[in-house]
Structure 1
Amino acid sequence: MDRPRIHRWLSAESYWAAGRPRTTQDAAIDASRNFGIFRTATGEQVAYARIVTDGVTFAWLCDVFVDSSVRGLGIGVALIDGVCAALEPHHLRRIMLATADAHGLYRKFGFEPLAAPERWMAKETQVTTGAA
């Protein structure tokens, strides 16, 4: 994985990780299953996603990013297809994600809004520099 590129994408170009410190991103990469798509000719990374999982029952799909130079070319579809294929043998009960703008992409892979959102809760905490 091209860590500097991933950090630049997420900290400077994403709405969900704006300003994320490099140390935080590196820790997140180290603690996750990482997926990337790379240009065949140059080896340049053009897309990234990561999974946080126990490998048995649950996974969280996050930090999905496709470089602006290749958006609209099916790279996002290929990335999510690869992630789902890699997780399929684990027979996970649930794979979760959050998105503000890519619902159509994820629906192609069976993702739907929560059936019972009232059962779910989140705790938002103050993020400190360097925290994972």
Structure 2
Amino acid sequence: MTTVLPAEYEISADSARIDPALVHKWLSEDAYWAHDRSREKQDRAIAGSLNFGVYERASGLQVGYARVVTDRADFAWLCDVYISREVRGKGLGTALVAAVRDHLAPYKLRRVLLATADAHEIYAKFGFAPLEAPERWMTLGSQ
């Protein structure tokens, strides 16, 4: 899937540009999957992940975020994909997922996973599909 990022925005994989306080605010206050995540835990998640930000070119203001947990050899987990409510509907989320996909492509990973309760059709556009053999997968911890 080809996506077009609006010209007034840019996507960066530079973790130094991430605003950890803003990311924590977004996720802990507005993301169903992270309402109970502490700032300390969010900071550890950022430190241990590949991080992607969406920024307004003119101001440098961060308006989106995604992170990837990966060994850069065989496996990755895409998570915490979030676009600020103020800029939703401009295709930024789609462009962000495309940028993450393109960034991971050179690693030739065997598997990239994600979990979503409500955005299956969006991720399907990028080739994500339900697990072929869910009976092979197990989890330790809460679901």
Gaps of 5+ in 1: 126-132
Q: TM-score, normalised by structure 2?
A: 0.85
Is 1:35 aligned with 2:52? Answer: yes
**Equivalent in the alignment of 2:77:** 60
Which of 124, 134, 139 matches 1:117?
134
Mark the runs of 5 or more structure 2 residues left unpaired by the alignment: 1-17
Q: Deviations over 1:54-94 (max 9, x none)?
A: 10000000111111111111000110010000000000000
3-state DSSP class of the match of 2:132?
A: coil
Deviation at 1:112, TM superposition (A): 0.4
**Count of residues in correspondence between the two structures:** 125
TM-score, normalised via structure 1 length: 0.92
Alignment of 1:92 onto 2:124:
no
3-state SS of 2:58 partner: coil
Deviation at 1:19, TM superposition (A): 2.3
Matched, 1:48 2:76: no
Q: Percent same amino acid among aligned pairs?
A: 54
Over 2 Å off, 4+ runs: none
> Residue 101 of structure 1 corresponds to which residue in structure 2?
118
Alpha-carbon RMSD across the aligned residues, in angstroms, is 0.8
Q: Which residue matches 2:100?
A: 83
